[in-house]
Amino acid sequence: MSSTAAQVSRKIAKSVLSRETPEGAGAIVRRSIGTPQLRNFTPFLMLDHFNVGEGGSFKHEDFMGHAGTINAGDLQFMTAGKGILHAEMPVRGPGLPNPKGLQLWVDLPKAKRMIDASYQELKSSEIPSAHPTSNTTIKVISGTAQGNASEGSVTSPIKPPGGCWIFDVTFTAKGEQIFQAIPPGWNAFAYTLEGQTLIGGDSSLTKPTDPFYTVVLTSAEGEQGVGLKSVSDGSRLVLIAGEPLDQEIVQHGPFVMDTQQGIRQAFQDFQMGVNGFEKARGWQSEIGKPLRGA
């Protein structure tokens, strides 16, 4: 919906540039959430913006028998729960777009940390979109966004185990202005991908944000959402909000628990192949065969 005087926008509390870092076999990663400057921002654990280089897509599979291919614009929403072993591998080919993407880790509420692992997947064409202005598209990955008069509220079929809204916002022309509602009390941030955007309302005190910045938003009483305004043609960002979790976080490698004992138990379960890791015993991915020389 368009910004009005009655709407009170969140403001920028912190803005941090995500710098490129080589990682793995030829991958370049910009780490956002999870760096020393952006830790302890519940419920978010990590956000990586990756670029594998050379055209292609991603194949994936896990020890539960799920397998598929992620192409440009597709979404994979994985709940690790009590445990999952999975593999991802870029598949390169001529004329295909470079495998770029975002990977977000979100903490589960303590009561749901030991639920069964699961997947929710959507092809690009299946992700619902809202169009609050003629030159604005919001891909509603999770949560609800307000579209135009004919669209009304647009809600994603993706239902995270904890409260989490994710929007992919693209402005095709400069000067477009929207206001996206965010549940009160939730933590929220934006990660800028292309162009320049005014975040936090159209104010003379607000400077445009360039690409690859993580912008943490305030969460004061009475702030109903965030105002966004494009300063350049083709500006794009993701807006992410989550319900804070009042719980301890102990993270080691791929495991996230609330105590050191819980982490030790998770490693033991993995090594012994129990408590969710039964199918991990001897499992090897098909897509990893070329790397193993199989």
* Residue 63 and residue 133 share a domain: yes
Alpha carbon of residue 195 to chain centroid: 19
Answer yes or no: is 67 within a domain.
yes
* Tokens of residue 269, six digits: 């379960």
Q: What is the pTM of this model?
A: 0.92
Mean pLDDT by 10 residues, the chain (294 residues): 68 95 81 94 96 78 89 91 88 77 95 90 96 98 96 95 96 97 98 97 78 97 96 97 95 91 94 91 85 68
* Residue 161 and residue 209 share a domain: yes
Answer yes or no: is 218 within a domain.
yes
Give the per-residue pLDDT at 220: 95
* Residue 201 and residue 70 share a domain: yes
* Residue 258 and residue 215 share a domain: no
How many Cβ atoms from other residues are within 10 Å of residue 286's Cβ?
Answer: 12
Number of compact structural domains in the chain: 2
* Residue 272 and residue 155 share a domain: no
* Residue 106 and residue 38 share a domain: yes
Mark which of 242, 259, 274 sits at the end of a domain.
242
* Residue 184 and residue 134 share a domain: yes
* Tokens of residue 274, six digits: 């129990």
* Residue 166 and residue 73 share a domain: yes
Here the CATH number for the domain that contains residue 144 is 2.60.120.10
Answer yes or no: is 2 within a domain.
no
Answer yes or no: is 188 within a domain.
yes
Give the domain extent around 144: 12-242
Give the per-residue pLDDT at 216: 98
Answer yes or no: is 4 within a domain.
no
Read off the DSSP letter of residue 9: B
* Residue 89 and residue 17 share a domain: yes
Burial degree of 135 (CB within 10 A; 0-12, 13-18, 19+)? middle
* Residue 168 and residue 78 share a domain: yes
* Residue 274 and residue 238 share a domain: no
Give the per-residue pLDDT at 1: 43
Answer yes or no: is 7 within a domain.
no
Give the per-residue pLDDT at 106: 97
Answer yes or no: is 288 within a domain.
no
Spell 71-104 as b/e; 16+ CB within 10 A means b. Answer: eeebbbbbbbbbbbbbbbbbeeeeeeeebebbeb
* Tokens of residue 133, six digits: 């202005």
* Residue 278 and residue 237 share a domain: no
Spell 45-60 as b/e; 16+ CB within 10 A means b. Answer: bbbbbbebeebbbbbb
Give the per-residue pLDDT at 140: 98
Answer yes or no: is 158 within a domain.
yes
Strands 44-51 and 12-17: unpaired
